[in-house]
Each structure stands twice: as C-alpha cells, then as structure tokens.
Amino acid sequence: MTAPDLPPLSWPRLEPGWVWLCGAGPGDPGLLTLHALNALRQADVVVYDALVDPTILTLAPEAEHIYAGKRGGKPSAKQRDISLQLVDLARGGRRVLRLKGGDPFVFGRGGEEAQTLVQHGIPIRIIPGISAGIGGLAYAGIPVTHRDVNQSVTFVTGHDQSGQTPGSLNWQAISDGSQVLVIYMGMKHAEVIASALLDAGRAADEPVAVVTSATTADQQVLETTLGALVADLAASTLEPPAIICVGRSVLMRQALDWQAMAMGEAPRNTDPLGRGRPAESA
C-alpha cells in the first residue's frame, strides 16, 4: 500500500534529528489522524509498539521499522532503552517517528519518552491519537459519556509498573467519584478489581463490558455484570488487549451496537435506559 495523499494544507515537516511521538489509535488504521499520516509519509525510521496494527506500518513503506516490543506482562524492551534508542536515532540525523497504540499520553508512557528526549535536547512534536478507552468503546456501541448515565468518567490502569494491581489506587474514591469507569490493562487483575469495586459499594448487577482487540477485525465484546465478571471471563476465550467498562453506559450497546446493525441485526432494545426518547434540546 502506498501512503494516500494528504489534503492540500500546510503540513509540518519532520526534520532530521527530530522525534515525533504519535498515537496510532486503537487498531483500525482508519482511526489514524492526518497528522499521523503526514508523519508516516516523512519518517525514515518508525519505532512502534506491539499494539500498533501492522497495516499502519505499510503506510511508511520506505522507512526502517523498529519493533519496541512493549506489551504488558510480556518480555519487552526496557522503557529506558527505548527512550535512549530514540535519542540515538535522532542524534544520528534520522527523522524519527515513535508510533504508540491509542494516544501516546494515555497510559502509554509517552510522557516519559518525551521527557527523556527533552532532557537530551532532542526536539519533539506530539501527535495525539484516539485512545482505546474512548474509540474502542465507541466501536462496541458504548458512549463513554451519556447524559442519562454519567457526568464524569474515570480512566484507570489495572496494573502498575510492577505488573500488580496498583496499590496506590483508592478504589473507594474511584468508585464514589464517577458513574462510569474505564479500565485499561485490567484483564489480568479483573478479580481483584471487581472485588475492590464491590467492596466499595458498587452493585453486583452493575453492567460491565469487556472489549478485546477493539476496532480490529478480531474485536470481541463480553457483556456481563460486576458480580459475574470473573466467572464470565474465566468461561470465555477472551484475550488482552482489553478495555473494561463499568457502568450503565454499557447498556447503550443494546441500542447502539452499530457493527451488528451493519450486519443486518435489529437493535436489541432502542431504549435501554428506559428514558423514552432522548431530549432533543438543551
């Protein structure tokens, strides 16, 4: 595949010695931004993570592709090594594109990489991307906010640098703080997370969705409840990467599962929140 043309606007130039940290979105190459495409067309080296869809790399056919191999729970290049490799490539006069899954500044250590580059005097540009916790849920027909459900949403990481459920998280405050929780990297610790939320007073019948490989051809969605999450996950064949969404916005999938509708299925329930027609104004 050759990279498609960009609209005739004035696009930034990726200069030798620069590093652009760019979000690749959750999977579907169509969710790349035009800035990402502009970067792919100019880079002479692309350093990419495990969750970047291989098709996206075909948009930079001339560039060298370097796999940085970061993936939770799997052997991976050390974060510091990746950051220093970016420094070396930039100092070697390359046009460096650091391509990360989703948005580079959402649970992706993009901030750390950017900081290391700045500390070494390397000029950078940040290109945001669509984060899995928003775009991935949208592909499952789940609006991350909905006026009848939530006025806030909390993004949570299910494990920290040590691979454990973050002990520093105050699950009581998280549970009290928003009606909808979007949990990244939570599958491995689903049991601990579910019981922490139940202990914090969330209802066992609260809707939960687990969306794996969101926006890709392998996307799967498990609809369950907080009380049944662990058993349903154990009974499933689901594999990470997964986004876990806790809250009543999950019910909207009964109306908005647009992928099923595109395959000819009728919506299961056009009023899953029991609110009648949505208000048209205000």
CA–CA separation, 274 vs 143, rounded Å? 16
Q: Provide the minimum distance between the beta carbon of 15 and ligand SAH in the complex, in angstroms, as a whole number.
A: 25
CA angle (214 as vertex; 163, 152 as ends), nearest 5: 75
Q: Which residues are catalytic?
A: 49, 70, 185
> Please, which residue, 22 or 252, has the CB nearer to ligand SAH?
22
> Please, which residue, 18 or 139, has the CB nearer to ligand SAH?
139
Alpha-carbon torsion 52, 86, 37, 111, what sign? positive
Residues in the chain: 282
Q: Is 9 exposed, middle or buried (0-12, 13-18, 19+ CB in 10 A)?
A: exposed
Q: What are phi and psi of 139, to 5 degrees?
A: -70, -20
Q: Provide the minimum distance between the beta carbon of 195 and ligand SAH in the complex, in angstroms, as a whole number.
A: 19
Q: Summarize as ranges the residues that interact with ligand SAH (CB under 6 A).
A: 26-27, 51, 72, 100-103, 106-108, 131-132, 136, 184-185, 211-216, 240-243
Is the distance from CB of 249 to CB of 144 less than 8 angstroms? yes
> Please, which residue, 11 or 155, has the CB nearer to ligand SAH?
155
Q: Provide the minimum distance between the beta carbon of 135 and ligand SAH in the complex, in angstroms, as a whole number.
A: 8
Q: Provide the minimum distance between the beta carbon of 113 and ligand SAH in the complex, in angstroms, as a whole number.
A: 12
> Please, which residue, 27 or 272, has the CB nearer to ligand SAH?
27
Cβ contacts of residue 223 below 8 Å, gap of 6+? Answer: 207, 208, 209, 250, 253
Hey, is 48 helix, strand or coil?
A: strand
Residue nearest to ligand SAH (CB): 102
